[in-house]
Each structure stands twice: as C-alpha cells, then as structure tokens.
Amino acid sequence: MGQPVREYLLTLCVTVAVTYLLTGPVRKFAIAAGAMPEIRARDVHREPTPRLGGIAMFGGLCAGLLVADHLPNLNGVFELSNEPRALLSGAALIWLIGVLDDKFEIDALIKLGAQMIAAGVMVMQGLTILWIPVPGVGTVALTQWQGNLLTVALVVITINAVNFVDGLDGLAAGMVCIAAAAFFLYGYRIWFGYGIEAAAPATLFAAILMGMCLGFLPHNMHPARIFMGDSGSMLIGLVLAAGTISITGQVDPDTMALFAGGERNATHAMLPVFIPLLLPLTIIAIPMTDLILAIVRRTWNGQSPFAADRGHLHHRLLELGHSHSRAVLIMYFWSGLFAFSAVAYSVHSASMWIVFVIALLSAVGLVLLLLPRFTPRAPRWAEFLVPPRYRHAERAAEAAAQDASGREPEPARPVAAGVSGVNGATAVGPRSRFPERRKAGSAR
C-alpha cells in the first residue's frame, strides 16, 4: 500500500510544481496577448488582471498524467482503462474553448454546446455512467442512452457550478481542491479498503486535480495576480466530474456487495459518491447551490440564466460585511464541511458522533456567517492592545482620526446606530472615515 501512496504523492507534487512554474510565464503571455478585460460593474478587483490561468492548469494536468503513466503501480490505470485518454481529450477541447472565451468573449450558448461536445467525446471513449444505486432498492442498471444522457448532464452541471462560483480571488481553486481532497480519500478507501482496482482512475484524477489547484492558488490568492478564467474553471469542473463518473462507471456494485455484506449495504456504503448524481453533487454542494439559486433568480427576473449579476453567495457575504479574504475562508469552511462530512459518514454511518460533530460545525459556520452583525468589542482596559475596529465606538473614532491627521482629533460625533463598514469597522457620523471600506465590492 505504501508504494501507491508514494506514487500518488509524486504525481501530486509534479502537478503542483508544473502548474506553479507555468503560471508566471502564462501571466506575461496573457498581458502581451491583451487578455485583460476592462473592469466591469460586477467585478471585485479594481485593476485589470490577466486571465488565461487555465493554460498553466492544463499544463499541470498533462504533466500529472505523463508522470503517472511511467510509474509502476499507476501505469496499470492507463493499460487497463481508456479513461485517462478520455479525460485528456475532453479536457483539451473544453480548455481550448475556454482560452478562446478568455480572449474573445464567446457567446454563452456556444460554450454550452462545447461543454456538451466535450462530455460526448468522453462518453464515446468509455467514460460513462453504467448504473446508480438507489437506497432501499439496490443497484439500478442504466440503458446506454440513459447512462450517456446522465453523464453529459453531470459534466455540464459540474462545469457551470464551478464556473459560477469563480467570483473571488482563490475561491474556485480552493473549493475544488477541498472537494478533490475529499474525493481522493474516498476513492483511495474503495481501492485499498475493498481491494477494487477499478477505483484507481478516479483516485488518480482527484490527485491530479488537487495538484492543479494547489499550484495555481499562490498566484490567485487575494490580491490575485492572474485569474484562471473560463479556461481554468471549466477545466477543473470537467476533471472533477470525470472522477465521479469514473467511480460510477467502473466500480462494480456486486463486488462492493461481497465486501460490504450484501447489495443494500454496498449501496449504502457507496451512497456518498452517488449522492452527487441524485441531489446532485454533495461533493460541491456550495457551488451547486449557487448555480441553482442563480438560475432561479435570473429566470424570475426575466433574464437569461447565463446573464452575469451580483447575487452569488460570495457577493452576499461581502454585502453582509465580510472582507474579501474572510468571505473566501467561509466558503472554504462550508465546502470542507459538506465534502468531508460525506466521506466521514460513508466510513462510520452508524456513529452518532459523526452527526453530532457535523451539527456542531454547522453551528460554528452560522456564527461565522453572522460575524459582521456581532462584531466583538474588547474590554476598555484592553482596548490599546487590539485594532480600532474592536474598540468601543468613541475610542475607535478618536484613534482613526488621529491616525488619519497625525494630531489630536476633535471630540467624536455620535455614532449612527447600526452603521458599519465592510470589514466591521464602525462608521462615524453621516459618512465613514474609511471610504474604501464603504464599498462592498462587486462580483467578478
């Protein structure tokens, strides 16, 4: 077991290194190619930032697959399965469309058609859903057209879910990395816990996807030096979907039944992976929720489902008063909670401790969401030890005025009740002394 772990780790590290090292030259290329759109009303960033980060991520994908193909244990994935080649061909197509969109702004319907074609290319090469487990019933085999249709739908939904959530620096890459890490743990457990080698391709895809995201994140964290663009968001969405489809297409439920003690137990054991097909996508529940809400919101307002707006979940966090970095970390928290809770439940589904911990972490998440409404204040005797935003209103106003003017301020005016800045700083009088914090920012 140790040898495959080392090979996965090597593949992960190579993917991280290649993606990270390519991102700098890609940034220079994007600037030279003019892939720096003007600031739009819905954008959060305040300076034109180059796109095309997906070029570096695609390079990392190719490097990871190439290294895995030459490793003793992972080489069997390429010899016994056509799925890596199916993934690479579909990823190349969706990546090319994304690069063109980052430069020339392709119509949304054309991109949707390209996503369906990319999914179809993978289906033609054998990367498709063959069966789904239904709780209380067991495994339900799908006809060829049903499996193909469900596969295409899953790929398109996942791609657009990731694309929709790509609105803040480091948000999409971090959330997908968290989902890939949870999926890797689950796939690895199926392979070595149940001895089912058919789970190896999905586990490999998850390891490479983690490397792509980790290699890109240092360049994309706030303030971002480069955006992944559609060439990156659609690419990682497709790779994430391919891992889920690989599990459903290759892992035989009858084999799982032998290890789990019956077909119904096997169905229950595999439920956390197949929930994405039924709900869909618990593994990326937050992006999926954002996608559904965006479609409903835009349709209700008489707009196209593909029309950009400022109503995404991360925008609402900014409107609540969270800073850019804190909004991203909150989204990370909820993504990790959903993804790893599903994995933990699959391992110890009968344990009430799992439910208790999930409930406790959910309560913590709610407190974090409401943090701007309940900004903590330090005791008066300790106010000189904390930043001004954690002091009482009068002291905070005096400190802010003194910092701004360099001299003793006039007595602070009464503070308008309930008025606070984006980062939780209290606004003084009719206008805040921090004009840059009054702007909640707009969506990318």
Q: Give the model's pLDDT for residue 430.
A: 39
d(CA 207, CA 243): 10
Give the CA radius of gyration of the chain: 24
Task: At 141, give phi and psi (nearest 5°).
Answer: -75, 140
Cis peptide before 280 (omega within 30 of 0): yes
Which of 138-177 are b and which e, b meaning 16 or more Cβ less than 10 Å from the residue's Cβ? ebeebeeeebbebbbbbbbbbbbbbbbbbbbbbbbbbbbb
Q: Give the model's pLDDT for residue 13.
A: 97
**Would you say 74 and 204 are in contact if contact means Cβ atoms under 8 Å apart?**
yes
Q: Give the model's pLDDT for residue 409.
A: 45
User: What is the DSSP track for 37-65?
Assistant: PPPPTT-S-SS-----THHHHHHHHHHHH
d(CA 304, CA 132): 32
Low-confidence residues of the chain: pLDDT under 70: 1-2, 38-46, 133-138, 250, 252-288, 290-291, 304-322, 346-351, 370, 372-444
Predicted confidence (pLDDT) per residue in 402-414, tens digit: 555 544 444 444 4
Q: Give the model's pLDDT for residue 35.
A: 85
Instruction: Collapse the DSSP code of 195 into the 3-class scheme (helix H, G, I; strand E, B; otherwise coil) and give the result.
Output: coil
Output the pTM of the full model. 0.74
Q: Give the model's pLDDT for residue 189.
A: 81
Q: Give the model's pLDDT for residue 41.
A: 53
Predicted confidence (pLDDT) per residue in 240-293, tens digit: 999 888 887 767 666 665 555 555 555 555 554 454 444 335 555 666 676 677
Kindly state the tokens that stand for 209. Answer: 């996807």
Cα dihedral sign for 277, 229, 217, 242? positive
Residue linked to tokens 């999905």: 202
**Would you say 441 and 324 are in contact if contact means Cβ atoms under 8 Å apart?**
yes
H runs (alpha helix) in 348-421: 352-369, 393-405
Q: Give the model's pLDDT for residue 304.
A: 66
Q: Give the model's pLDDT for residue 442.
A: 41
Cα dihedral sign for 416, 418, 419, 421? positive
Q: Give the model's pLDDT for residue 410.
A: 47
Rounded to the nearest 5 degrees, what angle is found at the Cα of 423, between the Cα atoms of 417 and 428?
35
Q: Give the model's pLDDT for residue 124.
A: 94
